[in-house]
């Protein structure tokens, strides 16, 4: 539900605690203004009214000093600047959707009604856990293996509490343009199978969190304390037996690990691997999936083990596994106590702390994460209706095309690749998906088939929740039967960010990102190329960074480089990492250059792209462009956030100004920066890869 957010918040809290302890002892011994080759001007307190500036020494400071001195943190943020402002505005715009008049559009109205059903705690509490209890009782009544099989093959998908296996639809890397159904064992409470073989302290802590959650939830469902304990032990015993054949997290991270692309099974092979389990019968006769010639089996041993364990003797373990995972999955749609228990459990098992939710504060805070995760596309459509327009989409699309055209020139000019590799790079550009602001058609994201009563009409969250889950399932089934559609958006327009997805070779420039200060309709060319342009070019550049370069034009994990060219590319990446490893935000503190190479490569290539476009513009004002380029990265952040950034893949913002600019003669020549100036970097020392 909110696991990614919980990790961020937990990290921030841990940093805050660490910083507090640090402040009492050693903080006075550290001079945070001692960074090399530049002081960390982003760190709160480093820049004062008395700080001297010299553009040839530290351009970021010279350009942004006055702005840094007046930056203020948005509420709830530890960073101030353009990025924070855009994200804060996106959040506020989202909240504003549900404070206005009732929308007329079906999907927008659905998002609006779901929001208020989420907030209707009186009705949710009145219903309690009764809807879930009906589903739990159905599983509790299974008394034989034949009855369990019948439960799977006869219970409609929407009435089934949980399953012993799970299926997902993904692109078939062996058959580009096609989808394939991937079949895996069911989820385990603890993600790393190694924990079941030798429990670590972290695993023990997770188990205690789960025991507390399930103990209280099972009590609400009418079980005794002893029955609850037995059910948890049974579920854990089932997961332990299955985990014996599952690869650990460490094994999966190895280059020798056999990925899903290598584990295609024919229909007969799947039936042979699991003859006792009604997998295909359930998928096709009950769930509606089409029969396929091949299936993806990421870990065949797990399905074979599941087949081996599917016995009368293990029925109590399987039954309790279904019950506990069903509870964990659905508790968030029940009453306040169940919801709060579920959120706390998710937070703590993700490495965080209890959320300490307040029911009275829910409508103003947590509900927005729930609405985004539940009805993301109706919310997206509602957001776009209010905060975007076709004119901006057209202008930014033209900018994207302009940048891609410039990128062809960059690829053509690259002197470290052969014609063979160059052809592969050009093919990636030719085939790159360009997703700008919002989808061209809303039809693939439509919820027109979803209908439920609003709060005013006496509706309940449970009915709405189940209707949405059924819709999502039916969309997945339809996706399995159809071709792999690379035009389908993977990101949400109301998120204030941009992205490149290597698996689909597509960029996403979200509507929430294309707002002031990143974009205004009245921007000059210099401003457009300094604010919006680098963000777009940055995402395109990710297709050719150390990670993106591993994927071909269709998003397949296929090598399209010659050995010699890839060796030269790797050498350039090593030089880029060494460049950042030689820098320090303050004395005694290193950067992780190896972690930064992808983002830094994209930053530098993006600036080169914009300079290439600028060169073709008569009377282009380079001074205005460079100052605007620096302003887009103007930042102030707390020590906690600065500490968190030390291992981040993104260079600190002041570095994203200075390190990028010093790569290019256009900047150095415009300001007369020469050897001996701190901003100067000799041609042989420059590290821009493209």
* 46-96: pLDDT as tens digits: 999 999 999 999 999 999 999 999 999 998 899 999 999 999 999 999 999
Better-scored residue on pLDDT, 486 or 655:
655
What is d(CA 54, CA 41) in angstroms, rounded to the nearest whole number? 13
Q: Is it the case that residue 8 has pLDDT exceeding 50?
A: no
Q: Three-class SS of residue 476?
A: helix
What is the reported pLDDT for 484? 85
Q: Is it the case that residue 260 has pLDDT exceeding 70?
A: no
| Cα–Cα separations (whole angstroms), residue 203 to 191, 192, 239, 353, 621 | 9, 9, 14, 15, 58
Better-scored residue on pLDDT, 100 or 526:
526
Neighbours of 472 (CB within 10 A): 13
183 pairs with which residues across the strands? 167
What is the reported pLDDT for 4? 36
DSSP 43: B
What is the reported pLDDT for 172? 84
Instruction: Determine the average pLDDT of the residues in 399-412.
Output: 98
What is the reported pLDDT for 45? 97
What is d(CA 280, CA 286) in angstroms, rounded to the nearest whole number? 10
Share of the chain above pLDDT 90, in %: 87
What is the reported pLDDT for 9? 34
What is d(CA 164, CA 244) in angstroms, rounded to the nearest whole number? 16
Residue-wise pLDDT for 210-244, tens only, equals 999 999 999 999 999 999 999 999 999 999 999 99
Nearest Cα neighbor of 565 from 346, 399, 414, 359 is 414
Q: Is it the case that residue 417 has pLDDT exceeding 70?
A: yes
Residue-wise pLDDT for 555-592, tens only, equals 888 999 999 999 999 999 999 999 999 999 999 999 99
Q: Is it the case that residue 15 has pLDDT exceeding 50?
A: no
* 129-333: in CATH 1.10.10.1110: no
Neighbours of 485 (CB within 10 A): 12
What is d(CA 346, CA 355) in angstroms, rounded to the nearest whole number? 9
DSSP 286: I
Instruction: Determine the average pLDDT of the residues in 606-617.
Output: 98
Listed by start position, the domains of the chain span 129-333
Phi-psi region of 545 (alpha: psi -120 to 50; beta: other; left: phi over 0): beta
Phi-psi region of 45 (alpha: psi -120 to 50; beta: other; left: phi over 0): left
What is the reported pLDDT for 255? 67
Mean pLDDT (the chain) is 93
Q: Is it the case that residue 23 has pLDDT exceeding 50?
A: no
What is d(CA 459, CA 448) in angstroms, rounded to the nearest whole number? 18
What is d(CA 134, CA 139) in angstroms, rounded to the nearest whole number? 9
pTM summary value:
0.89
What is d(CA 464, CA 473) in angstroms, rounded to the nearest whole number? 14
Burial of 56 (0-12, 13-18, 19+ CB in 10 A): middle
What is the reported pLDDT for 100? 84
81 pairs with which residues across the strands? 635
Residue-wise pLDDT for 448-465, tens only, equals 999 999 999 999 999 999
Neighbours of 624 (CB within 10 A): 15
DSSP secondary structure string, 58-125? Answer: -HHHHHHHHHHHH--PPTT-SEEEHHHHHHHHHHHHHHHHTTSPPP-SHHHHHHHHHHHHHT-HHHHH
Q: Are 229 and 242 spatial neighbours (Cβ–Cβ below 8 Å)?
A: no
Between 77-86, 246-255, 281-290, 621-630, the lowest mean confidence (pLDDT) is in 246-255
DSSP 652: P
């Amino acid at each position: 539900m909110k696991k990614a957010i919980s990790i961020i918040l937990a990290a921030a809290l841990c940093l805050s605690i660490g910083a507090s302890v640090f402040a009492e002892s050693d903080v006075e011994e550290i001079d945070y203004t001692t960074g090399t080759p530049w002081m960390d001007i982003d760190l709160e307190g480093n820049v004062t009214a008395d700080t001297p500036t010299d553009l040839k020494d530290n351009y970021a400071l010279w350009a942004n000093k006055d702005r840094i001195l007046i930056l203020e943190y948005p509420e709830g943020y530890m960073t101030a600047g353009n990025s924070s402002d855009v994200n804060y505005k996106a959040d506020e715009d989202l909240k504003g959707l549900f404070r206005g008049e009732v929308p007329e559009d079906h999907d927008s109205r659905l998002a609006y009604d779901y929001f208020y059903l989420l907030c209707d705690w009186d009705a949710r509490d009145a219903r309690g856990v009764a809807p879930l209890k009906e589903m739990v009782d159905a599983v509790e009544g299974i008394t034989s293996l034949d009855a369990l099989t019948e439960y799977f093959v006869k219970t409609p998908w929407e009435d089934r509490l949980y399953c012993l296996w799970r299926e997902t639809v993904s692109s078939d890397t062996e058959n580009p343009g096609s989808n394939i159904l991937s079949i895996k064992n069911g989820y385990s409470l603890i993600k790393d199978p190694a924990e079941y073989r030798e429990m670590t302290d972290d695993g023990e802590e997770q188990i205690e969190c789960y025991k507390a959650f399930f103990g209280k939830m099972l009590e609400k469902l009418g079980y005794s304390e002893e029955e609850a304990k037995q059910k948890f032990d049974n579920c854990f015993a089932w997961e332990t037996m299955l985990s014996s054949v599952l690869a650990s997290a460490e094994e999966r991270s190895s280059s020798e690990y056999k990925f899903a692309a290598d584990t295609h099974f024919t229909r007969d092979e799947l039936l042979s691997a699991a003859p006792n389990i009604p997998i295909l019968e359930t998928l096709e006769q009950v769930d509606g999936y089409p029969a396929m010639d091949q299936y993806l089996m990421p870990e065949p041993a797990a399905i074979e083990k599941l087949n081996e364990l599917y016995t009368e003797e293990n029925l109590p373990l399987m039954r309790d596994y279904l019950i506990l995972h069903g509870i964990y999955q659905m508790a968030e749609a029940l009453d306040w106590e169940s919801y709060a228990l579920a959120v706390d459990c998710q937070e703590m098992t993700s490495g965080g702390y209890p959320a300490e939710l307040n029911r009275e504060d829910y409508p103003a805070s947590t509900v927005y994460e729930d609405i985004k995760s539940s009805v993301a596309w109706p919310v997206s459509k509602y957001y776009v209706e209010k905060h975007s327009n076709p004119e901006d989409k057209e202008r930014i699309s033209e900018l994207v095309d302009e940048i891609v055209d410039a990128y062809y020139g960059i690829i053509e000019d690259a002197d470290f690749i052969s014609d063979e590799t160059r052809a592969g790079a050009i093919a990636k550009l030719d085939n790159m998906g360009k997703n700008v602001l919002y989808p061209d058609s809303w039809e693939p994201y439509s919820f027109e088939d979803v209908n439920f009563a609003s709060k005013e009409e006496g509706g309940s969250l449970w009915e709405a929740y189940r209707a949405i889950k059924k819709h999502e399932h039916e969309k997945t089934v339809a996706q399995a039967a159809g071709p792999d559609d690379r035009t389908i958006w993977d990101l949400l327009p109301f998120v204030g960010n941009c992205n490149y997805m290597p698996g689909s070779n597509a960029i996403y420039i979200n509507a929430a990102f294309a707002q002031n200060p990143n974009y205004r309709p009245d921007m000059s060319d210099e401003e457009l190329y300094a604010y919006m342009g680098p963000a777009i070019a940055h995402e395109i550049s990710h297709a050719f960074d150390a990670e993106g370069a591993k994927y071909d034009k269709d998003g397949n994990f296929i090598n399209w480089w010659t050995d010699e060219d890839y060796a030269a590319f790797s050498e350039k990446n090593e030089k880029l990492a060494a460049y950042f490893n030689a820098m320090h935000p303050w004395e005694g503190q290193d950067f992780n250059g190896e972690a930064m190479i992808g983002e830094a490569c994209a930053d530098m290539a993006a600036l080169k792209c914009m300079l290439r476009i600028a060169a073709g513009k008569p009377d282009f004002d380079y001074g205005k462009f460079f100052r605007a380029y620096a302003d887009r990265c103007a930042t102030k952040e707390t020590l906690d956030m600065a500490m968190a950034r030390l291992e981040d893949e993104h260079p600190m913002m002041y570095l994203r100004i200075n390190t990028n600019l010093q790569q290019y003669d256009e900047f150095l020549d415009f300001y007369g920066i020469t050897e001996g100036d701190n901003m100067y970097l000799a041609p042989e020392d420059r590290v821009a890869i493209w």
